[in-house]
């Protein structure tokens, strides 16, 4: 409504006697213009408080001007700021999607993947699907040439993490400490490197399980022995013909053996023999694990091989006396499920357009800038105490090879002689025979009548 229309409407409420005054007309026109200005100001104020109507900015403007605009100030109330090269329309979608995440709740897998899609400036909402325990987000993004591209990211909870503990220049018999900080027990890989001399018949003792792992061979100087669960021992990556045996330390020993491993009053006392056919490496318990690595002399090795047919030949692989000054390098490797951690796998072959363009200081953010933005988004949406982790990967298209084999057999046979029945089988045994004895009738039936008005004397039927 214009100022003149407002003035005319106010004049209609006055009595007819007061409508002809000149001053009253100018007063109502002034009031109409003031009301019109107040309405416009109120409209602008309401528009500035609604993200679809607030004044935006140009994509090429500086970050300071974008933040100072009406749309930028409105988004700042929610901790959101426009990015480089981001248009007003994209920023409005970004803002609405962020509020939708807050409405559905943070710290969930769909919320985290949606925050990641906002960093990539993908079309909203993203498509999320599950493949086992891994959430897969499929985003539609814009490539450098302006074409649309499908992007895949993965989010996994409690990811497996490779752990390694290394000990250098270890004296045989020294107690070592490892810690399994995962959620489940696991089986490690054991590695031993002979640094200054040949190591004859090394033994690994796991204190928690009371299990001994013995390699019935020698590790040359400078070579590395690798023991893996369910596999043959490796010397410098080459499979060794020497056996690997596992045994419980509670065993029959000599009268003079006073070590705790030869007693039978322990908590895990078991009577077992050395097993060389199916060696099983010890299982790392949750928490602390202790190891003792050393060598066996011939007398100690003989107590393990009692009852073997070739025991003396195997015993000669050990030294009569343990050498002094022996040094080895040890390494324990295992995989554990990391608690309170989730990992985000992103493709390494794609960068958003705003990460490929130089900023106001002329620096191209590149992959480092993308990871920085993703880390900030994950920190914003994660739960307290949960650690995010970003992994780079190259997702290859799925390939499927189908191999089918069909076997068919056709069989045909002919007989050289043709069998034809030539004799009939006569009845045998008791039988009943029926014979009809009624005679054939010989009487004739005759009658008389009229046919076409002609009397017939008679007719007979036989």
Do 121 and 149 contact (CB within 8 A), yes or no?
A: no
pLDDT 10s digits, 71-107: 888 888 877 888 888 888 888 888 888 888 887 788 8
The string of pLDDT tens digits covering residues 366-388 is: 999 999 999 998 998 888 888 99
**Total-model pTM:** 0.60
Give the CATH number of domain 163-337. Answer: 2.60.120.860
What digits encode the pLDDT tens for the residues 417-444?
A: 665 666 665 555 566 666 766 666 666 6
Dump pLDDT digits (tens) for 42-81: 666 665 566 677 778 888 888 888 888 888 888 888 778 8
Per-residue pLDDT tens over the stretch 324-347: 888 999 999 999 988 889 999 999
Tell me if residue 51 falls in helix, strand or coil: coil
Encode 247-279 in three state secondary structure. Answer: ECCCCCCCCCCCCHHHCCCCCCCCCCCCECCCC
Q: How is 336-365 classified by DSSP, letter by letter?
A: EE-TTEEEEEEETT---GGGTS--TTS---
Q: How many CB atoms lie within 10 A of CB 324?
A: 7
116 token code pair: 């990641």
Mean pLDDT of 157-177: 90
So where are the chain's domains? 3-48, 105-159+343-393, 163-337
Buried b (16+ CB within 10 A) or exposed e, 366-376: eeebbbebbee
Q: If we measure between CA atoms, which residue out of 168, 176, 195, 191 comes closest to residue 326?
A: 195
């Amino acid at each position: 409504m214009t100022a003149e229309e407002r003035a005319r409407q106010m004049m209609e409420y006055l009595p007819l006697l007061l409508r002809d005054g000149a001053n009253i007309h100018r007063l109502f026109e002034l009031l109409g213009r003031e009301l019109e200005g107040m309405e416009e100001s109120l409209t602008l104020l309401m528009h500035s408080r609604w993200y679809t109507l607030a004044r935006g900015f140009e994509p090429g403007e500086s970050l300071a001007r974008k933040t100072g605009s009406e749309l930028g100030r409105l988004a700042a109330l929610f901790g959101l700021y426009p990015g480089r090269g981001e248009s007003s329309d994209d920023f409005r979608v970004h803002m609405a999607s962020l509020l939708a995440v807050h409405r559905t709740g943070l710290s969930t897998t769909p919320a985290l993947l949606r925050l990641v899609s906002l960093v990539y400036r993908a079309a909203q909402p993203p498509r999320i699907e599950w493949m086992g325990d891994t959430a897969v987000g499929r985003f539609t993004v814009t490539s450098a040439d302006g074409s649309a591209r499908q992007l895949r990211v993965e989010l996994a909870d409690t990811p497996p993490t490779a752990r390694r503990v290394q000990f250098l220049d270890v004296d045989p018999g020294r107690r070592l400490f490892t810690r399994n900080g995962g959620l489940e027990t696991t089986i490690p890989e054991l590695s031993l490197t002979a640094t200054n001399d040949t190591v004859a018949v090394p033994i690994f003792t796991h204190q928690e399980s009371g299990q001994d792992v013995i390699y019935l061979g020698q590790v040359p100087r400078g070579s590395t022995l690798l023991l893996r669960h369910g596999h043959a021992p490796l010397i410098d990556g080459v499979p060794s013909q020497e056996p690997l045996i596992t045994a419980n330390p509670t065993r029959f020993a000599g009268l003079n053996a006073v070590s705790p491993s030869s007693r039978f009053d322990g908590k895990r006392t078991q009577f077992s023999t050395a097993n060389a056919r199916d060696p099983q490496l010890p299982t790392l318990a949750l928490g602390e694990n202790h190891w003792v690595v050393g060598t066996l002399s011939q007398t100690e090795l003989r107590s393990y091989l009692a009852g073997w047919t070739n025991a003396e030949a195997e015993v000669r692989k050990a030294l009569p006396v343990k050498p002094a000054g022996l040094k080895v390098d040890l390494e324990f490797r295992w995989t554990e499920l990391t608690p309170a951690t989730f990992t985000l796998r992103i493709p390494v072959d794609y960068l958003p357009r705003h990460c490929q363009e130089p900023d106001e200081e002329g620096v191209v953010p590149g992959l480092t800038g993308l990871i920085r933005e993703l880390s900030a988004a994950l920190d914003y949406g994660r739960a307290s105490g949960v650690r995010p982790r970003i992994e780079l990967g190259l997702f290859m298209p799925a390939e499927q090879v189908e191999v089918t084999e069909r076997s068919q057999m056709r069989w045909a046979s002919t007989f050289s002689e043709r069998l034809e029945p030539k004799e009939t089988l006569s009845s045998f045994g008791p039988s009943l025979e029926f014979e009809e004895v009624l005679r054939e009738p010989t009487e004739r039936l005759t009658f008389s009548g009229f046919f076409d008005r002609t009397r017939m004397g008679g007719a007979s039927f036989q």
